[in-house]
Amino acid sequence: MIELKHVNKAYEGVKAVSDVSLTLEEGQVFGLVGTNGAGKSTLLRLIDGILQPDGGEILVDQEPVYDNPSVREKLFFIPDEPYFFPGSRASDMKKWYRDIYPAFDSSRFDKLVSDFGLDPRRRIRQYSKGMRRQLAVLCGICAGTPYLLCDETMDGLDPVMRQAVKSLLAGEMEERGVTPILSSHNLRELEDICDRVGLLHQGGILLSQEIADMKLNLQKIQCVFDGSVPEEIPGIQAVTHESRGRLHTYVVRGSREEAEAAFGAYSYVFFEILNLSLEEVFILETEAVGYDVKKFILG
């Protein structure tokens, strides 16, 4: 389990991470999403022990992570821009990680490099961006760590490779109980593979919930009233209300049952409750705290 307790980090007086508290349970895929400059990469580096927090505490299996080599052996961080030694080949990185991570599986690494079509004789600098990302993922998978931190790892991979990486992560979770923590701008992708998601905004956590629970508390309703349109719907909190002609679209907080009860007092020509996507939830939660989501390009 990874625990963050009131963690802060600033660069030259500008807060990158502000009073973040999170508990990341073992065996779950945790997705970290946020606006540009929200602090996702900084937070992952803090969890990995690369950076020291200015305040607060980060524990991995109840031990502090910073300046603690035995704990850092449990974590593998795949950065947004993977680094490889100048002039190195895949075999050189295998030897390097084998010295750092006692559980590194060399034979599996060789097989996966071959399966992914990565030429072990070529210099890594000759690989494409997507191939370098694939190699970084393979290094992380074969390191044998219980926690895998992935910063925008799917970015730059084609759809086939994305699916291959997802399958690898799923296999590691089933066989070894690996806990992946993924940051991404691609909300649809996180929705497919994550059990829990944290929304990061201006260095702070807006919310951290199971994806299923998050959606259960927001309902999207489309309806055409049979008669006059009420100014408000008593008994339910409307987050948004839009109309196009006679069609009205509401997003309300509460359970499906609460929404049905509140709207049940009216007559309709048409009425339905729709599922919200993670992208729609993200937009609603960021707009609720005053972020101009129109300046942010999703996924």
pLDDT tens figures, 54-71: 999 999 999 999 999 999
Parallel, antiparallel, or unpaired: how do β-strands 218-225 and 268-274 relate?
antiparallel
Q: What is the pLDDT of residue 121?
A: 85
Q: What is the pLDDT of residue 57?
A: 94
Q: If you ran DSSP here, which 8-state letter would residue 126 be given?
A: G
Q: What is the pLDDT of residue 292?
A: 57
**Are 71 and 49 contacting, i.e. CB atoms less than 8 angstroms apart?**
yes
List the alpha helices (DSSP H) in 177-232.
187-193, 211-216
Instruction: Give the CA diameter of the chain.
Output: 74
Residues of the chain whose pLDDT is less than 70? 156, 286, 288-299
CA 61, chain centre distance (Å): 21
The H or E element containing residue 179 is strand 179-183
Q: What is the pLDDT of residue 296?
A: 45
Tally of CB atoms within 10 A around 70: 7
Q: How far apart are CA 169 and CA 188, in angstroms?
A: 17
- Sorted by where each starts, the structural domains of the chain and their CATH numbers stand as 2-212 (3.40.50.300), 217-295 (3.30.70)
Structure tokens at 54: 């200015």
